């Protein structure tokens, strides 16, 4: 599994290496990649368009999940709880 694949930008060399890893894994077992960017935005992260297209082609099942981010929701709940505790201490 590759989580948050587009969190950082890649140069041409790293893009080629990632492509090789995915290609080799694709021939043997499943590959799971998560991203918060649409494929149309991937060229902003991966400079080699041909390699990026080939990488996407190796993903046989694409699942798009819509909705609120779990991590964002948990962070907001934690922030609210901290603010409530601070207010109670001041009272």
Q: What is the per-residue pLDDT across 4-13, written as a single tens digit (0 to 9) for each?
A: 666 667 788 8
Residue 6 belongs to some domain of the structure: no
**Number of domains, the chain:** 1
Residue 28 has pLDDT above 80, yes or no: yes
- Angle, helices 12-26/49-57, rounded to nearest 10 degrees: 20
Residue 24 belongs to some domain of the structure: yes
Residue 35 belongs to some domain of the structure: yes
Reported as a pLDDT band with limits 50, 70 and 90, residue 88 is: confident
Residue 42 belongs to some domain of the structure: yes
What would the pLDDT profile of 35-69 be if each residue is shown by its tens digit?
877 878 878 887 777 777 887 788 767 777 777 87
Domain range for residue 60?
Answer: 12-66
Residue 45 belongs to some domain of the structure: yes
């Amino acid at each position: 599994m590759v989580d948050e694949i587009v969190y950082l930008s890649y140069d041409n060399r790293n893009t080629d290496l990632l492509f090789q890893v995915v290609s080799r894994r694709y021939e043997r077992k499943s590959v799971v990649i998560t991203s918060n960017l649409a494929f149309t935005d991937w060229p902003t992260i991966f400079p080699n368009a041909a390699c990026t297209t080939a990488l996407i082609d190796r993903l046989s099942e694409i699942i798009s999940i819509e909705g609120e981010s779990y991590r964002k929701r948990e962070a907001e709940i934690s922030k609210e709880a901290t603010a409530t505790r601070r207010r109670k201490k001041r009272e």
